Structure 1
Amino acid sequence: MKESPKLVETEGLDLATFGQRLRHVRRARGMTLADLGARVGRTPSVLSLIENGKREPRLTLVEQLATALGVPVGELLKKQPPSRRAQLEIALEQSQRDPSYRALGLPQLRVGTRVPTEVLEHLVGLATELRAQRSKPTATPEEARAANAALRSSMRERGNYFPDIERAAADALARASYAGGALSQGMLLSVVAQHGFSVRFVPDLPRSVRSLTDLRGNRIYVKQEPVGGHSARAVILQALGHFLLGHDTPRDFADFLRQRVEANYFAAAMLIPETAAVAFLRDAMSRRDLAVEDLVDVYSVSYEMAAHRVTNLITHHLELPCHFVKNDASGIIYKAYQNDGILFPADITGAIEGQRMCRQWSGRRVFSAPDRFSPHYQYSDTPAGTYFCVAQVDPRADERGYAISLGVPFEHSRWFRGRETTDRVKSNCPDGECCQRAPLTLAERWDGMAWPSARAHSHILSALPAGSFPGVDDVDIYEFLDQHAAD
């Protein structure tokens, strides 16, 4: 009995390289596509798709092609292009599929035999440099901090109120016949469908994204959370907001940051609609009972979103200046906003993010409160004046825990729940005698006798990730979309 030929492993076959090797060997044998097709029982058009890397051949066809061409199967399956020109053609084809190249809006360049090899060398060199430029960090930490400071200044000038986004959210809700109350999942999906999108909940969303939108299939992918997990409503609405607000690929980090703030604002305006929320807040103000937690209950949103939404509305509609802070247990500030004159710690660029807040502020003292998940009220005497603040650790945050603080100047505390508190502290920060330096007796005892190993805050100190969308892994998201496109 004749021994069967040994099967060759084809897993991981690079279609472009295989097609180039097939074309190279065919031409070397003086065959046309029609000649080779007649020998293997395939049409010239099918073989052309294979040679151009557009179709994956079955192993049996690879063996038939090798036999017809008189070469070992392994010769066709080598991972190296057959020539320098073939290598350049493959590199140019791959470059034209790269997002940085496609963003130029150039037509697809088809490389024929008449295109000189020197021209290919130039084109591939330019495409390689384009990718290299794109791979550089979107911004240095200094540039990112400056962008944050500039955006915060713009938000302060307008009282953190964006009328165009409010109108866009109101129009989207009206189109879906929203009748009021917390936005249900059914109503959310109706809103999304009104704009031509569908939502897919998946367990394998790439780790580098909160959502992923397939613009070919008009699908918004979000992570499938376990029962009782965090709601995906805000994430879905943020994704939709990018399109309804006319966002394009960010030009730089400042543009990326602006788009993210606007998308977050849109989601909040959808989940806590302006007209109803303002009426709710006015009523609470008339009863001197303004409270962030009431919006949490009524609209089923996170404490952070509710506090953000209060800052959007109370200055513009109720003429109440305010401030907002998000920080961790060590006092590191992640987000901050103010139009009430409070003095946040800041670096020389005016950046607040990454600075450590005073130990006496409510955002730090709440972590030592008997119940950190309930509102902690206090008055703080500061160099800029006295402020009434309420802080709470958001129970929906991750295991690290973040405190969310909302505050107003003393004269406006009369409108808020918790104003009766007798908890009053004094803060002299940024004066070092307040809390930035240890008490003298403590310093004398331990100065020179301590050697800490600092925990680096990588999100603040390191160079920012590369790409138009910082931190997003293009390979992960393209592979994900490819896998789910046929679902």
Structure 2
Amino acid sequence: MTEFASEEDRNFSTEHDLLVFGQRLRHLRRAAGLTLVELGERVGRAPSQLSLLENGHREPKLSLLRGLADALGTSVDELLSKKPPNRRAELEIAVEKAQLDPIYQRLGVPPLKVGKRVPTEALEHVLALYEELRRRETKQVATPEEARKANAELRRMMREHGNYFPEIEKAAAGILDKVGYHGGPLSEGQIQAIATHLGFGLRFVTDLPRSVRSVTDLKNRRIFLRRESLGMHSPRTILLQTLGHLTLGHSQPRDFADFLRQRVEANYFAAAVLVPEQTAVPFLQDAKAERDLAVEDMRDVFSVSYEMAAHRFTNLATQYLDLVCHFVRNDETGIIYKAYENDGLVFPSDATGAIEGQRMCRYWSGRQVFASQDRYSTYYQYTDKPGATHWCVAHVDPSRGRDFAITLGVPYAESRWFRGRDTNNHSKSKCPNGECCQRPPAELASRWEGMVWPSARAHSHVLAALPADTFPGVDEADVYAFVEAHQS
């Protein structure tokens, strides 16, 4: 009887890419000097069955995985790694997937059998053509619904990783090592040295197009910036985000989801440079040992914004402090602009699972901070929510534009590690699923329902489709005119 996955086994195909698994199995088999027949004899399976596995057509059962790992002198974890074993395998997988895309299939060309006789250059050529075809096909208007779906998927991925990405940490550490960083806040000279190390000069200008934070002239290897802050972003943060795109090897985004992923990675890189892992982790571990964790201390020690300090905490908390947490950025009306959680907190969401644009409960700390005696002071609160109580610290970062609250929260049991745990502020919320603050009190509703006609402040961007640009929201005509004007 063939030993493949049954309904009782975990759903292998949803957790691992069968094509990647097949490539890893083939690579490890060849590295061990075994044929399909020889490997089949060791695990008691027909070569044809193993061939199906190597070609990504069947799902292996866990017991078979263990047998394969033993026969190949490796581990199950190594077999199930999501990383292709080499560049050639990565190309073969990408071409196989490309041919399954309806965009590719609409060409009506015969399928390409990806075998070892197909030159690597040919695979790269086919893949480059497919990527350009896909870019042109998907360079359409991205609807708000598509944007929300992309946000929801990205947040799911961040949750799976505990919002910690070692590859970006390694890239940031490598750059810091190149410019001689030894601790403390990063100096302006060191930030400029990073740009120089990457081969780029800096130009501060006053006529930067309004739709961009920076412009990188790849032809002349120059980065154009304003000297003043842009909203919550200082010039050094914007520069490091730009350098993050370059360091991480980003290419022009294929679609909005790719654009969003690149932006999150670049922001992560900037935070990892300004709040380096090598110094931030011992600092946080010492603070936890003293039961005195505080976002404002990270802000002050590393000279960053409160928002960056709070978000950077989420990068390191689960990996190094054994803490789960949540983060949210919202305006005074409770509209959520950015959020992350791996502590079980349930945010209000739409049918797609997106939380951006949703309104949080008026009893959550992110809204209560605006009603406190001093909104710009640190505000602590315990909130009883459906199924759990969370402790939160909220802070309003003052800006020249509208104010936003930044909240970092943890489950009640974890509050013992934080400054502000002795607060008397306590609130109860039934949101987002229960009757709480979303409906007016019954008494008021009975008196006023149908008798009031408010004139809403319509946010046109909620209804509008995202601009059909390579970089959503960026006016490319303005950008090209700008770099042309700065050629001298």
Q: Secondary structure at the match of 2:427?
A: strand
What is the CA deviation profile of residues 359-385 of structure 1, one whole-angstrom value per residue up to 9, with x for unaligned ones?
000000111111111111000000130
**Whole-angstrom distance in 2 between the partners of 1:465 and 1:303:** 31
**Whole-angstrom distance in 2 between the partners of 1:234 and 1:461:** 31
**Whole-angstrom distance in 2 between the partners of 1:338 and 1:131:** 32
Q: Secondary structure at the match of 1:257?
A: helix
Gaps of at least 5 residues in structure 1 are 1-128
**Whole-angstrom distance in 2 between the partners of 1:328 and 1:192:** 34
**Whole-angstrom distance in 1 between the partners of 2:235 and 2:387:** 39
Q: What is the TM-score with the length of structure 2 in the denominator?
A: 0.70
Q: Structure 1 residue 384 and structure 2 residue 357: aligned?
A: no
2:335 to 329, 332, 335: 332
Larger Rg: 1
Q: Which residue does 1:401 correspond to in 2?
A: 403
Q: Structure 1 residue 242 and structure 2 residue 236: aligned?
A: no
- After superposition, the Cα gap between the structure-2 partners of 1:131 and 1:419, relative to the gap in structure 1 and judged at 3 Å, is closer
- Structure 2: which amino acid aligns with 1:255? D
Q: Which residue does 1:306 correspond to in 2?
A: 309
Q: Which residue does 1:415 correspond to in 2?
A: 417
Whether contact under 8 Å (1:324, 1:406) holds in the other structure is yes
- After superposition, the Cα gap between the structure-2 partners of 1:407 and 1:459, relative to the gap in structure 1 and judged at 3 Å, is farther
- Structure 1: which amino acid aligns with 2:393? V
- After superposition, the Cα gap between the structure-2 partners of 1:432 and 1:457, relative to the gap in structure 1 and judged at 3 Å, is farther
**Whole-angstrom distance in 2 between the partners of 1:296 and 1:131:** 40
Q: Which residue does 1:69 correspond to in 2?
A: none
Q: Secondary structure at the match of 2:381?
A: strand
1:175 to 164, 175, 178: 178
Q: Structure 1 residue 273 and structure 2 residue 268: aligned?
A: no
Aligned-pair CA distance for 1:198: 1.1
What is the CA deviation profile of residues 31-74 of structure 1, one whole-angstrom value per residue up to 9, with x for unaligned ones?
xxxxxxxxxxxxxxxxxxxxxxxxxxxxxxxxxxxxxxxxxxxx
Whether contact under 8 Å (1:326, 1:402) holds in the other structure is yes
Q: Which residue does 2:442 correspond to in 1?
A: 440
Whether contact under 8 Å (2:135, 2:254) holds in the other structure is no
Q: 1:82-481 maps to which residues of 2 (within 5 A)?
A: 136-137=140-141, 139-225=142-228, 231-395=234-398, 397-481=399-483
What is the CA deviation profile of residues 227-267 of structure 1, one whole-angstrom value per residue up to 9, with x for unaligned ones?
xx963111001101101101111011110000000000000
What is the CA deviation profile of residues 401-426 of structure 1, one whole-angstrom value per residue up to 9, with x for unaligned ones?
10000000000000001000011111
Aligned-pair CA distance for 1:456: 2.5
Aligned-pair CA distance for 1:300: 1.0
Whether contact under 8 Å (2:139, 2:255) holds in the other structure is no
Whether contact under 8 Å (1:342, 1:384) holds in the other structure is no
**Whole-angstrom distance in 2 between the partners of 1:476 and 1:466:** 15
- Structure 1: which amino acid aligns with 2:467? P
| Identical-pair percentage | 63
Q: Which residue does 1:32 correspond to in 2?
A: none
**Whole-angstrom distance in 1 between the partners of 2:280 and 2:215:** 30
**Whole-angstrom distance in 2 between the partners of 1:162 and 1:449:** 53
Q: How many residue pairs end up in the alignment?
A: 355
Aligned-pair CA distance for 1:131: 12
What is the CA deviation profile of residues 148-177 of structure 1, one whole-angstrom value per residue up to 9, with x for unaligned ones?
111100000000000000000000010011
Q: Secondary structure at the match of 1:407?
A: strand
- After superposition, the Cα gap between the structure-2 partners of 1:408 and 1:259, relative to the gap in structure 1 and judged at 3 Å, is same
Whether contact under 8 Å (2:331, 2:403) holds in the other structure is yes
Aligned-pair CA distance for 1:275: 1.1
**Whole-angstrom distance in 1 between the partners of 2:218 and 2:361:** 46
Worse overlay, 155-164 or 365-374 = 365-374
- After superposition, the Cα gap between the structure-2 partners of 1:132 and 1:320, relative to the gap in structure 1 and judged at 3 Å, is closer
Q: Secondary structure at the match of 2:318?
A: helix
Whether contact under 8 Å (2:241, 2:269) holds in the other structure is yes
Whether contact under 8 Å (2:325, 2:410) holds in the other structure is yes
- After superposition, the Cα gap between the structure-2 partners of 1:264 and 1:461, relative to the gap in structure 1 and judged at 3 Å, is same
**Whole-angstrom distance in 1 between the partners of 2:138 and 2:410:** 43
**Whole-angstrom distance in 2 between the partners of 1:282 and 1:186:** 29
- Structure 2: which amino acid aligns with 1:320? L
What is the CA deviation profile of residues 423-463 of structure 1, one whole-angstrom value per residue up to 9, with x for unaligned ones?
11110012452101101111122111111122233444421
- After superposition, the Cα gap between the structure-2 partners of 1:249 and 1:131, relative to the gap in structure 1 and judged at 3 Å, is closer
**Whole-angstrom distance in 2 between the partners of 1:341 and 1:132:** 40
What is the CA deviation profile of residues 201-236 of structure 1, one whole-angstrom value per residue up to 9, with x for unaligned ones?
11111000001100011111111228xx96311100
**Whole-angstrom distance in 1 between the partners of 2:334 and 2:357:** 9
**Whole-angstrom distance in 2 between the partners of 1:458 and 1:167:** 41
Aligned-pair CA distance for 1:484: 1.0
**Whole-angstrom distance in 1 between the partners of 2:162 and 2:421:** 23
Whether contact under 8 Å (1:389, 1:405) holds in the other structure is yes
- Structure 2: which amino acid aligns with 1:250? P
Gaps of at least 5 residues in structure 2 are 1-132
**Whole-angstrom distance in 2 between the partners of 1:299 and 1:430:** 35
- After superposition, the Cα gap between the structure-2 partners of 1:334 and 1:398, relative to the gap in structure 1 and judged at 3 Å, is farther
**Whole-angstrom distance in 2 between the partners of 1:286 and 1:171:** 29
**Whole-angstrom distance in 2 between the partners of 1:379 and 1:429:** 15
